[in-house]
Amino acid sequence: DIQMTQSPSSLSASVGDRVTITCRASQSISSYLNWYQQKPGKAPKLLIYAASSLQSGVPSRFSGSGSGTDFTLTISSLQPEDFATYYCQQSYSTPRSFGQGTRLEIK
């Protein structure tokens, strides 16, 4: 099974900051990497698929990059509604494992 490791586990930032979250796969997964946002009490929401493709309706301040084993999610200018937990997921093989999550908190 492919293991996904996110860093950091938590992050404090201010509105307007640029933040980057990283995700590393235990083996090459090409570009089969998705990012989800989850707010308390809600289901995860797809932000980015195929490592860098923005899901329809997702603000352009979100971007993704990477291939192989190393990936990043960047939020260019944090907005109040962006404070949430973010998960990466590999879709290269079953089980389609998730990272442990990165909790983004207000500084």
Partner 1 sequence: EVQLVESGGGLVQPGGSLRLSCAASGFTFSSYEMNWVRQAPGKGLEWVSYISSSGSTIYYADSVKGRFTISRDNAKNSLYLQMNSLRAEDTAVYYCARITWYSGENWFDPWGQGTLVTVSS
Residues contacting partner 1: total by CB under 8 A: 25
Asked if 66 interacts with partner 1 (CB under 8 A), we say no
Give the whole-angstrom CA distance, residue 105 versus residue 107: 6
Asked if 36 interacts with partner 1 (CB under 8 A), we say yes
Contact indicator for 83, 98 with CB cutoff of 8 Å: no
Asked if 89 interacts with partner 1 (CB under 8 A), we say yes
* DSSP letter assigned to residue 16: T
Name the segment binding partner 1 (CB under 8 A); options: 11-19, 62-70, 72-80, 84-92: 84-92
Nearest CB to partner 1, comparing residues 41 and 80: 41
Question: What radius of gyration do the chain's Cα atoms show?
Answer: 13
CA distances from 57 to 4, 10, 72 (A): 26, 26, 20
Q: Which residues contact partner 1 by CB under 8 A?
A: 31-32, 34, 36, 38, 42-46, 49-50, 53, 55, 87, 89, 91, 94-101
